[in-house]
Amino acid sequence: MLNFITRYFTSLWAFITSPFRAIWRVISRVFPPREFTVMDTPRGNVYTFKQSSFWRFTRFCGKIGLFVWAAWSTYVFVYHRPLLQKRTQQLDETRATHARHMTDLQTYLTKYNELTRNLNVIDDKILNSKKLDDKEREKLMNSRVKTWGELDFLRTRITEMFTDEDYAPEYTKLSELSIEYELTRAENEGLKKRNNQMLESMAEITAADSQIVEAVATLTTQNTEELRQNIKKIKGTIATLGLSETTLINKANKYSNPLVGTAYNPLDFDGKIDEKYQKLADGLELWHGLKRLNDVLPLGAPLDKVRITSNFGTRNDPFTGKPKKHRGIDFAGKIGTELKAVAPGRVVSAGDRVGYGTTVEIDHGLGFTTLYAHLSQITVSRGDWVRPGTVIGLGGSSGRSTGPHLHYEIRYKGSPFDPTKFVKEQ
């Protein structure tokens, strides 16, 4: 052996490692070293990289390992998941069976206690009553035998419940049906009592419902009339714009913004229901529309002390003296007078306009806008939301003006109209 080693191998270590070196030579043939070059085009440099046989073999082994792991994981997922689902289903079924058994056990124990009490009562009557005739005694004995039969059956069922693995709570025997009948009858009596209580409660609810509907309808009618008074004062003006109260109410219910809230969704009831509910729903819709109109329309004056110096319509131009249409109304005021928004809305412009000077325009929705002209200062910005009473600027005499005052316009869809009714009658 030693001669063989010294003849073919240089040392004992060479002999021991010869199988590994042989395997490595095979690996080196299958995965020979490689070189590849990369050119850095902007700089013109060329880089050479080498991949050794060991690196290529290691990477191959890593890919094989990843593939094997993925295949095994897929196998486990596909094969074992149905088993897990089946075990879960079996567990749920077992839990349901257990719950059903516990319910039966409670029922049987309750009935068992009841039958035991009845048996004791019958025995007491038979033993202690001295005035029983043969017919009554025979009746008691028959009742005792029947009670014993039911008790014996219950003992059997309870024993099966604890000892028989295939126990199933099925009512197939006459005594079982008798127990079920008694339980159902007792439950039926309870349902009758609850039904009578529900009928009484329904009668009370019906009476209360009628009172509530009547009260809400009365309040709605009263509030509707109060809200309608303000709209009646401008009815002539809105008629000149081609609008009606009904049209404005429908638009107001559909209108929404961050200040007045979301659109109103009207209540719609089935035709079979009592018509009083639909009348109440219509009244609520009308009330909401009128309230929204009173909130949205620019009703009121833009400053505290109202003194109109020039009305809407044709007048002599203060600069030329010739007749010219005046597109709004003028309020007397001093420089610095606080000017306020008359209704909630959004500022759509704030700045200088030819002839109007420093101007603020607010969009109130439903097509209505208000314009404040000849201001000395603006206190809001374009895009701001303003509430009623918000100071939007200060009075002045900017633009084409002969002195400090406020030129105020109300426009519908961009066209000014006479705002006198909107201002004076509030």
Which pLDDT score is estimated for 214?
Answer: 65
Which pLDDT score is estimated for 174?
Answer: 44
Q: Look at residue 110 and tell me if it is in a domain.
A: yes
Three-state secondary structure call for residue 343? coil
Single-letter amino acid code for the residue at 398: S
Q: What distance lies between CA 106 and its chain's CA centroid?
A: 42
Cα separation, 39 vs 46, whole angstroms: 4
Q: State how far the alpha carbon of 285 is from the alpha carbons of 255, 280, 281, in Å.
A: 13, 9, 6
Cα separation, 292 vs 343, whole angstroms: 11
Residues 120 and 155 in one domain: yes
Burial 376-415 (b: 16+ CB within 10 A, else e): bebbbeeebebeeebebbbbbbbbebeebbbbbbbbbeee
Boundary-marking domain end, from 116, 141, 170:
170
- The one-digit pLDDT tens for each residue of the chain (426 residues) are 556 666 666 667 777 787 888 888 888 888 888 877 777 667 767 777 788 888 888 888 999 999 999 988 888 777 777 777 888 888 888 888 777 777 777 777 787 788 788 878 877 777 777 677 777 777 878 887 787 777 777 777 777 776 766 665 544 444 555 555 566 666 677 777 777 777 777 766 666 666 666 656 666 666 677 777 777 788 888 888 888 888 888 898 888 888 888 888 777 666 666 677 777 777 778 888 888 888 899 999 999 888 899 899 888 888 888 888 999 999 998 999 999 999 999 999 999 999 899 999 999 999 999 999 999 999 999 999 999 999 999 999 998 888 899 999 999 999 999 999 899 754
**Residue 364 contacts residue 298 (beta carbons within 8 Å):** yes
Q: State how far the alpha carbon of 367 is from the alpha carbons of 130, 172, 181, 362, 412, in Å.
A: 101, 78, 73, 11, 5
**Nearby residues of 326 by Cβ (< 8 Å), 6 or more positions away:** 310, 311, 312, 313, 314, 315
Helix (H) or strand (E) holding 296: helix 275-296
Helix (H) or strand (E) holding 72: helix 53-128
Which pLDDT score is estimated for 121?
Answer: 81
Residues 40 and 161 in one domain: yes
Which pLDDT score is estimated for 170?
Answer: 46
Q: Look at residue 414 and tell me if it is in a domain.
A: yes
Residues 78 and 11 in one domain: no
Residues 41 and 8 in one domain: no
Cα separation, 228 vs 232, whole angstroms: 6
Q: State how far the alpha carbon of 168 is from the alpha carbons of 98, 162, 163, 171, in Å.
A: 11, 12, 12, 9
Residues 186 and 113 in one domain: no
What is the torsional sign of CA 287, 290, 294, 296? positive
| Dihedrals phi, psi of 36, to nearest 5 degrees | -145, 150
The angle formed by the CA atoms of residues 16, 17 and 19, to the nearest 5 degrees, is 100
Boundary-marking domain end, from 246, 273, 296:
296
Cα separation, 106 vs 23, whole angstroms: 76
Nearest to 306 by CA among 329, 331, 335: 331
Residues 276 and 314 in one domain: no
Nearest to 394 by CA among 354, 344, 352, 360: 360
CA atoms within 13 A on the CB side of 117: 6
Q: Look at residue 302 and tell me if it is in a domain.
A: no
Ranges assigned E (strand) in 84-239: none
Residues 154 and 35 in one domain: yes
Residues 25 and 36 in one domain: no
Which pLDDT score is estimated for 197?
Answer: 75
Token pair of 387 as six digits: 């509430």
Question: How many domains are there within the chain?
Answer: 4
Ranges assigned E (strand) in 242-316: 308-310, 313-316
Q: Look at residue 301 and tell me if it is in a domain.
A: no
Residues 279 and 246 in one domain: yes
Cα separation, 280 vs 287, whole angstroms: 10
Which pLDDT score is estimated for 18?
Answer: 77
Residues 288 and 395 in one domain: no
CA atoms within 13 A on the CB side of 115: 24
**Residue 417 contacts residue 411 (beta carbons within 8 Å):** yes
Which pLDDT score is estimated for 165?
Answer: 63
**Residue 391 contacts residue 379 (beta carbons within 8 Å):** yes
Q: Look at residue 303 and tell me if it is in a domain.
A: no
**Nearby residues of 281 by Cβ (< 8 Å), 6 or more positions away:** 266, 267, 268, 269
Boundary-marking domain end, from 113, 143, 170:
170
Q: What distance lies between CA 153 and its chain's CA centroid?
A: 55
Residues 221 and 283 in one domain: yes
Domain enclosing residue 320, as ranges: 308-424
Residues 42 and 64 in one domain: yes
